[in-house]
Structure 1
């Protein structure tokens, strides 16, 4: 999970989003609070989905 904030909200009203959703939230004006955790490597599955090591 990644903690994010938006400039239109008061200080301290942060949200937590899944790492995979960060880029979508950034396009909507949200910014990451602190350091972004490193992403886990992904491998494609037979059906074209991406699979993280946790799913294996």
Structure 2
């Protein structure tokens, strides 16, 4: 699902559309959600397995 966002440094009407999984990253960069209903309430943390070298 896509979410419309705006930035205070841009004129009105220059919104962007980003995937909902990217909303938290854009918010950290100063963007705000235009459609609050479309924004996810929480973003799950990314995870990955550690390699043997990382565990040493």
Identify the structure with bigger relative contact order (alpha carbons < 8 Å, sequence gap 6+): 2
TM (normalized to structure 2)?
0.64
Paired with 2:9 and 2:39, the residues of 1 have a C-alpha distance of 27
> 2:3 touches 2:39 (CA, 8 Å); kept in 1?
no
Aligned residues: 41
> Over alpha carbons, which structure has the higher Rg?
2
Return the structure number with greater helix share. 2
Q: Note the residue ranges of structure 2 that are not aligned, 5 or more in a row.
A: 41-46, 49-56
- Regions of 4+ moved over 3 Å: none
CA distance 1:19–1:8, shift in 2 (3 Å):
same
Aligned residues: CA RMSD: 1.9
TM (normalized to structure 1)?
0.64
Q: Note the residue ranges of structure 1 that are not aligned, 5 or more in a row.
A: 40-47, 50-56
